[in-house]
Amino acid sequence: MSEIKKRIRVTLMRSPFGTGKRHQACVRGLGLRRQRDSRELEDTPAIRGMVREVAYLVKCEEV
């Protein structure tokens, strides 16, 4: 039987322009390119860590 994997929707609410390179890399790592861009991603510790790093730029909700 296959497991049902949790997913989260991450939306870029603010531009990463003017933030540090590490935060810009996290935004790109999440697959976000421009404001209001959304991605549905697996809910893994790595993804949660990137979201936590740039929490002031993104909105996260469970799908």
When divided into structural domains, the chain yields a total of 1
Residue 1 lies in a domain: no
Residue 35 lies in a domain: yes
CATH of the domain at 22: 3.30.1390.20
Q: What is the pLDDT of residue 4?
A: 80
Residue 51 lies in a domain: yes
Burial of 3 (0-12, 13-18, 19+ CB in 10 A): exposed
- pLDDT tens, 3-61? 788 999 999 999 999 999 999 999 999 999 999 999 999 999 999 999 999 999 999 99
Residue 2 lies in a domain: no
Structure tokens at 11: 């939306």
Task: For residue 40, give its domain range.
Answer: 7-62
Q: What is the pLDDT of residue 1?
A: 59
Residue 53: strand, helix, or coil? helix
Residue 52 lies in a domain: yes
Q: Quote the strand ranges of the chain, DSSP E.
A: 7-12, 38-42, 58-62
Residue 33 lies in a domain: yes
